[in-house]
């Protein structure tokens, strides 16, 4: 991840056009103005919400500001971008992929704020899927991936970072693309991809 900055991606499998938007996801109230300035089209084939922050700490040691940051970046900004982009996604009968985490499936000690935000993201995806029958919604749950975020997580855990121990970002991206390219008569609602090691 990018420490609170994120990118929304829109494009189609046929024209492979992808638009990346640098947004401050730690400030969800500013997203509407940022999207207006971006001049997005009236139709969007897809949105990939791929952003997150993770600060590890026990619940008893997690300060309010850390909770707010986790929830703002990992959940509230996803909900706000969804709300703002739904008209364009409806117009194209598009698809949303929320990049979650296996922490959104199982909470572990020291991961309280992160896991809570990711469980919330899963609930958001399920709600959007139920409310928007013409939009396909996928929750993507990647396991540990060789990224800068994983490097920071390993440092917080007091361990060494060896990218060979984790799945590659390319493997995760291909998995997301597979969900996006699924024929329209089917929907991948949840996809879990873990490192083979």
Between CA 75 and CA 6 the distance in angstroms is 12
Q: Catalytic one among 49, 98, 114, 161? A: 114
Residue among 82, 114, 80 at smallest CA distance from 100 = 114
- Residue 114: active-site member: yes
∠ CA 162-149-178, rounded to 5°: 90
Are 73 and 87 spatial neighbours (Cβ–Cβ below 8 Å)? no
Residue among 139, 116, 113 at smallest CA distance from 54 = 113
Residue among 120, 106, 109 at smallest CA distance from 60 = 109
By annotation, the residues acting in catalysis are 114
């Amino acid at each position: 991840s990018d420490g609170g900055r994120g990118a929304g991606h829109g494009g189609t499998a046929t024209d492979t056009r992808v638009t990346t938007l640098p947004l401050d996801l730690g400030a969800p109230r500013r997203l509407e103005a940022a999207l207006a300035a971006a001049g997005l089209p009236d139709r969007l084939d897809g949105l990939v919400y791929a952003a997150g922050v993770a600060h590890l700490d026990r619940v008893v040691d997690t300060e309010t500001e850390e909770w707010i940051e986790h929830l703002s970046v990992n959940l509230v900004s996803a909900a706000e971008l969804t709300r703002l982009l739904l008209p364009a996604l409806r117009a194209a009968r598009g698809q949303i992929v929320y990049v979650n985490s296996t922490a959104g499936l199982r909470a572990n000690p020291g991961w309280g704020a992160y896991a809570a935000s990711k469980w919330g993201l899963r609930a958001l995806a399920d709600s959007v899927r139920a409310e928007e029958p013409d939009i396909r919604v996928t929750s993507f749950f990647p396991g540990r991936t060789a990224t800068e975020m994983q490097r920071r997580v390993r440092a917080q855990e007091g361990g060494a970072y060896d990218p060979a121990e984790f799945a590659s970002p390319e493997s995760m991206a291909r998995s997301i693309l597979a969900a996006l390219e699924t024929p329209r008569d089917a929907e991948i609602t949840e996809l879990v991809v873990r490192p083979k090691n």
